[in-house]
Amino acid sequence: MHDASARHHAAERTGVWFVGARGSVATTATVGLAAIAGAQAPPTGCVTAREPFASAGLPEFADLVVGGHDISAVTMTKRAERLVETGMIPPRLLAATHDAVERADAEVRPGYDPHAGHGSGPDAAVSQQPVSQQAVAERLAGDITAFRDRHGLARVVVIDLSSTEPPVTDVPELHDPEALLTALADPDRAVLPASSVSAYAAILAGASYAAFTPSAGMGVPALTALARERGIPVAGQDGKTGQTWLRTVLAPAFAARGLKVLSWSGTNLLGGGDGATLADPDAVRSKLATKTRGLTALTGSETTPLHIDNVPDLGDIKVAWDHVHVEGFLGSRITLQTTWSAHDSMLAAPLVLDLARLLALAHAAGISGPVPELGFFFKDPWTSDVHDAAAQAVALEDWVRRTAQARP
**Tens-level pLDDT at each residue, the chain (408 residues):** 344 444 445 458 999 999 999 999 999 999 999 999 999 999 999 999 999 999 999 999 999 999 999 999 999 999 999 999 989 999 999 999 999 999 999 999 999 998 775 444 566 554 457 899 999 999 999 999 999 999 999 999 999 999 989 888 889 999 999 999 999 999 999 999 999 999 999 999 999 999 999 999 999 999 999 999 999 999 999 999 999 999 999 999 999 999 999 999 999 998 877 777 777 777 777 777 878 888 999 999 888 888 888 898 888 899 999 999 999 999 999 999 999 999 999 999 999 999 999 999 999 999 999 999 999 999 999 999 999 999 999 999 999 999 999 888
Distance CA 202, CA 149 (A): 15
> Domains in the chain, please, with CATH?
3-239+346-406 (3.40.50.720), 243-343 (3.30.360.10)
Q: Is 206 exposed, middle or buried (0-12, 13-18, 19+ CB in 10 A)?
A: middle
DSSP string, 374-408: GGGGBSS-TT-----HHHHHHHHHHHHHHHHHH--
Q: How many Å apart are CA 195 and CA 32, to the nearest integer?
A: 25
Q: What separation in angstroms does the CA of 52 have from each of 42, 150, 324?
A: 18, 32, 35
User: 66 forms bridges with which residues in the sheet?
Assistant: 16
Q: Taking a C-beta distance cutoff of 8 angstroms, is the pair 325, 262 a contact?
A: yes
3-state secondary structure (DSSP) of residue 113: coil
Are the C-beta atoms of residues 238 and 379 closer than 8 Å to each other? yes
Entry pTM: 0.92
Radius of gyration, alpha carbons of the chain: 21
C-alpha 212/C-alpha 342 separation (Å) is 18
